[in-house]
Amino acid sequence: MLAVAPLRRAGRFDGFLIGIVDVDRLFGSLLSQEERQRYDMAVYDGREPLYATPGFDLRGAGPGAVDAALIVENASWRLTLLPTPKARAEAESAIPPLVFGSGLALAVLLTLTVHFMLAARLHSATLLLANRELHRQMQAEIELRRSNTSLATLNARLEQEVAERARAEERFRLGIESAPNAMVITDRQGRIVQVNTQTLRWFRHERAALIGQPIEMLIPPRFREQHVGHREGYQAAPTARPMGVKLELYALRGDGTEFPVDVSLSPIELHEGLRVICAIADITERKQAESELRQSNTALAAVNRELEAFAYAVSHDLRQPLRGMSGFGQVLLEEYGERLDETGRSYLQRIQAASRRMGQLIDDLLDLSRITRREMHHEEVRLSELAEEVILSLREREPERAVAVAIAPGLVARADARMVHIVLENLLGNAWKFTAHAPHPRIEVGAEGGDGERAFHVRDNGAGFDMAYAGKLFAPFQRLHGAHEFPGAGIGLATVQRIVSRHGGRVWADAEPGKGATIHFTLEPPTEAG
Amino acid sequence: MTTRERTILLVEDNPDDEELILRALRKNNIANEIAVTRDGAEALDYLHRSVAHAARSEGLPQVVLLDLRLPKLDGLEVLQRIRSEPSTHTLPVVVLTSSDEERDILGSYSLGVNSYVRKPVQFAEFVAAIQQLGMYWLLMNRPPPAERR
């Protein structure tokens, strides 16, 4: 019989003591050699026999049999003594078996208590063990269930991810398909794995003819070898970038014709490996527009050169005959003046005056053309100070004129100083000129408007003009006054307008005949925000 | 050598301008001999005493009055040749032209012109300009020693 007893120390479970109990020796030693000849003995745990002497047979039970109950912790044991045939024969002379049995039972009880206690402990220890095992199993079960649950969650998430991925792939496919450009996706070997419908339209191929083919089939043969090298270089370090920057790229259609393209490349890592998305734009129209623009630029440059040659010719060649007219007129006057009458001499003087005026016109015209051609240098220009200078030189030229001048202080602009000087010379010169007949001539220089559009103005209280003719004011050689009233070539405001428009500004006028005129101008483009 | 014996070389293709310049010089009592060449190539021939001018006497002019718009070689080319050759390297040259163009003025100065004068349209002004030119280059200005060789 195996005995297991739990070991406890300070109430803490420490383990099991396992021992083997020799039942034969335990119970066998209860009966002496002599008694063993008279009685057979058995011990039961319930119906289960724990021990029996070799001759014990319940079937042979007769008078003199003794049953004694043994109360053991957690168990109900029974001791049975059966008189052997020899004992029955000596019945009269023997100790009454009942007394013997009771004493024996007490001895068994006393002897065995310890063992039975041990056995009981063993039993409860077994239970504990079983319990622990059960607990462990239950824990395992719970653990399993728990992991089953998380597995299910994981599974659901995976499914969701798969669905999401499928949706993403569908979106990707739709995106590729609906792109306005030809979209070609290639694998690591440069083979076409996917194309959109635009590709088929532009390249004039069937889809089946493209899939699995090297991308080079869409490139004119003369670029192919080079392209393979470039492609391998790209595969080694793929980044999203335009292809062949500053190169003219051409694509090859199925019918052998070519068209100019722009290509941008983006690498994309898919589960099947590295893919390259080639977005191909057909730039035929852009190229055409560019070429047209180039042509018109060339034409414009030619016109500009012609204009410059013209200005140069005017500068040289038109002045020379004038000099002849003026010079020989003078010579005639000096050498032969006495042979002419007064009328003849006045005609010669008119020739002189006419040539002088024409000389001035040519110079004005040249100035105008120079303003158009001259390079601009932007800097901070102090308009108030420039205006003072111009007024000063006007006063020096005509010291007899008494003109009241009011210049707002601190007027500044970012502009070309030389050009702004010409603007002020023209505007103040006009104001000076057109106030010649005014009783109390007055000239004002100022500015209005804030950050959005700052406009400067030159105002006078002179002759003014009818606003009906304001449209003609800024055209070259347009004059609103007769030469007998006010001299001038009609080039001043045209010059002003050209300078202002070269600065991106605008110029406009307010006027009333007899009351004066105001010329407004800006020196920069109006800002968006205002 | 006195200034009276020194020559002025006028390079001018327009007969009217030539006449007016000569007249203006005379009016200003400038008595120097005035050699006139009518295109750029001839001007160089004169300076190098070759072709039509092979027979002229030795020496360089006191000053060259150079127009810019000239047949064959234009004024700037003539100026460039004058400055690039050692014999004429320091010869005083005055550009006398109708042009007021920046590129002509800048071009002349960057090639080493000594003065740039625009011909005035008005004869009176023209005469005044020539007078001043003559006074300055023939009387006041001290020519480089290389010219005296």
Question: What single string gives the DSSP state of each residue in A1-54?
Answer: -EEEEEEEETTEEEEEEEEE--HHHHHHTTS-HHHHHHEEEEEEETTEEEEE-T
ipTM attached to this prediction: 0.74
User: Chain A partners of B126 at a C-beta cutoff of 8 Å?
Assistant: 323, 327
Residues of A in contact with B102 (CB under 8 A): 370
Least confident of A63-77, A214-228, A274-288, A306-320: A63-77
For the residues A254-263, what does the mean pLDDT come to?
91
Q: For residue A320, which residues of chain B lie inside 8 Å, CB to CB? A: 14, 16-17, 98
Q: Could you write out the DSSP letters of every residue in A89-136?
A: HTGGGSPPHHHHHHHHHHHHHHHHHHHHHHHHHHHHHHHHHHHHHHHH
Greater confidence (A51 vs A177) lies with A177
- The closest CB to that of B99, out of A316, A326, A355, belongs to A316
C-alpha A462/C-alpha A216 separation (Å) is 78
Q: How close, in Å, is residue A374 to chain B by CA atoms?
A: 10
Closest to A94 in 3D by CA, of A41, A28, A37, A142: A37
Contacts of A17 (CB under 8 A, 6+ apart): A4, A5, A6, A7
Q: Determine which of A49-53, A224-228, A333-337, B98-102 has the lowest per-residue pLDDT on average.
A: A49-53
pLDDT at B141 over 80: yes
Window from A114-118, A305-309, A404-408, B97-101 with minimum mean pLDDT: A114-118
User: Which pTM does this prediction carry?
Assistant: 0.49
Distance CA B133, CA B140 (A): 10
Q: Select from A326, A362, A366, A418 the residue whose CB has the most chain B CBs within 10 Å, as the one to mutate to test that interface.
A: A326
**pLDDT at A447 (0 to 100):** 93
Residues A114, A19: Cα–Cα separation, whole Å: 14
Among the partner residues B23, B100, B121, nearest to A323 by beta-carbon distance:
B121
Put simply, the chain B residues between 93 and 122 with a CB less than 8 A from any chain A CB are 97-102, 119-122
Average pLDDT over residues A381-390: 94
The alpha carbon of residue A156 and the mean position of all alpha carbons in its chain are separated, in whole angstroms, by: 32
Q: Do the Cβ atoms of A319 and B14 come within 8 Å?
A: no
3-state helix, strand and coil shares in percent for chain A, rounded to the nearest 5 = 50, 25, 25
Helix (H/G/I), strand (E/B), else coil: A80? strand
Closest alpha carbon to A176 in A279, A283, A273: A279
The structure tokens listed for A124 are: 């409860």
pLDDT in tens, A96-127: 555 565 566 656 555 555 565 666 666 666 77
Interface residue B123 vs chain A (CB under 8 A):
yes
User: Euclidean distance between the first and final Cα of chain A, in Å?
Assistant: 109
- DSSP character for A246? T
A528 pLDDT tier (thresholds 50, 70, 90): low
pLDDT band, residue A25 (cuts 50/70/90): low
Residue B125 contacts A, CB cutoff 8 Å: no
Number of Cβ pairs closer than 8 Å across A and B?
60
If one compares A129 and A260, the residue with the highest pLDDT of the two is A260
Between A57 and A392, whose confidence is greater?
Answer: A392
DSSP letter for A509, please.
E
A105 or B109, which is more confident: B109
Sheet holding A507-512, edge to edge: A404-407, A442-448, A455-460, A516-521, A507-512
Contacts of A312 in chain B (CB under 8 A): 99, 101
Asked if A144 has any chain B CB less than 8 Å from its own CB, the reply is no
State the Rg of chain A over Cα.
63
pLDDT value of residue A204: 92
pLDDT band at A93 (very low <50, low <70, confident <90, very high): low
SS3 call for B92: coil
B74: which residues sit within 8 A by CB, 6+ positions away? B40, B68
User: Could you tell me the two tokens for A246?
Assistant: 């500053």
Torsion from C-alpha of A365, A369, A372, A376, nearest 10 degrees:
-100
Flag if A356 and B122 touch (Cβ within 8 Å): yes
Residue A483 has a pLDDT of 60
pLDDT at position A40: 78
Q: Does A369 touch chain B (CB under 8 A)?
A: no
What average pLDDT score do residues A31-41 get? 71
d(CA A500, CA A491): 14
**What is the least distance, in Å, from the CA of B9 to any CA of chain A?**
20
Neighbours of B71 (CB within 10 A): 11
pLDDT computed for residue A12 by the predictor: 57
pLDDT at A168 over 90: no
Chain B CA closest to residue A313 = B99
Closest among B131, B65, B127, B60 to B94, alpha carbons compared: B65
Model pLDDT for residues A293-346, shown as the tens digit of each residue? 999 988 888 887 787 777 777 667 788 888 888 889 888 988 898 999 999 999
The H or E element that residue A263 is part of is strand A258-270
Distance from A432 to chain B by nearest Cα, in Å?
Answer: 26
Residue of A328, A356, A370 with shortest CB distance to B121: A356
Q: What residues of chain A lie within 8 A of the CB of B17, using their CB?
A: 320, 323-324
Measure Cα distances from A507 to A455, A524, B124, B132 in Å: 9, 11, 40, 44
Tell me the shortest Cα–Cα distance from B72 to chain A, in angstroms: 17
Instruction: Provide the shortest C-alpha distance from residue A337 to chain B (in Å).
Output: 16
The answer to whether residue B148 scores a pLDDT higher than 50 is no
Helices B15-27 and B123-134: crossing angle in degrees, nearest 10, is: 60
Class of residue B46 by CB neighbours under 10 A (exposed 0-12, middle 13-18, buried 19+): buried
Cα–Cα distance between A388 and A406 in angstroms, integer?
Answer: 10
- Asked if residue A37 lies in contact with residue A83, where contact means CB atoms within 8 angstroms, the answer is no
Residue positions counted in chain A = 530
What Cα–Cα distance (Å) separates residue A394 from each residue in A84, A428, A446, A459, A463?
167, 9, 19, 16, 18
Per the document, the length of chain B is 149
Q: Which member of B16, B101, B121 has the closest CB to residue A359?
A: B121
Band the pLDDT of B4: cuts 50, 70, 90: very low
Structure tokens at A88: 């029955």
pLDDT in the model for residue A9: 52
What is the mean predicted confidence (pLDDT) over A370-399?
A: 90
Q: How far is CA B75 from CA A120, B8, B70, B83, B97, in A?
A: 139, 16, 6, 12, 9
pLDDT, average across residues A277-285: 91
pLDDT score of A518 = 93
Q: Record the tokens describing residue B78, joined without a space.
A: 């003539």
Neighbours of A112 (CB within 10 A): 20
Cα–Cα separations (whole angstroms), residue A69 to A43, A102, A123: 10, 10, 20
Give the mutation candidate from B123, B125, B127, B130 for the A interface (greatest A CB count, under 10 A): B123
**pLDDT class of A206 with cuts at 50, 70, 90:** very high
A4-18, A434-448, B63-77: range with lowest mean pLDDT: A4-18
Angstroms from A506 CA to nearest CA on chain B? 28
Name the token pair of B19.
């006449």
A186 vs B: CB within 8 A: no
Helix (H/G/I), strand (E/B), else coil: A242: strand
What is the predicted pLDDT for the residue at B102?
A: 82
Q: A463 or A105, which is more confident?
A: A463
Q: What are phi and psi of A110, to 5 degrees?
A: -65, -45
CA nearest A352: which of A380, A326, A315, A390?
A: A326
CB contact under 8 A, B123 and A320: no
CA A252 – CA A309 distance, rounded (Å): 47
What average pLDDT score do residues A155-183 get? 86
**Does residue B51 surpass a pLDDT of 80?**
yes
The C-alpha angle A275, A276, A281, rounded to 5 degrees, equals 150
Comparing CA positions, the residue from A395, A368, A382, A326 lying closest to residue A489 is A368
Count the alpha carbons within 13 Å of A386 in the hemisphere toward its beta carbon: 24
Task: Count Cα atoms within 13 angstroms, Cβ side, for B55.
Answer: 1
For residue A21, the model assigns a pLDDT of 53
| C-alpha gyration radius of chain B | 14
Contact predicate B43/B64, CB 8 Å: yes
**Taking CB atoms and an 8 Å limit, are B121 and A355 in contact across chains?**
yes
Judge: B97–A316 Cβ closer than 8 Å, yes or no.
Answer: yes
Q: Which range is least confidently modeled, A217-226, A489-498, B70-79?
A: A489-498
Please report the DSSP string for A409-475 in residue order.
TT-EEEEEHHHHHHHHHHHHHHHHHHTTT-SS-EEEEEEE--SS--EEEEEE-SS---GGGGGGTTS
Of A317, A326, A331, the CB nearest to B121: A326
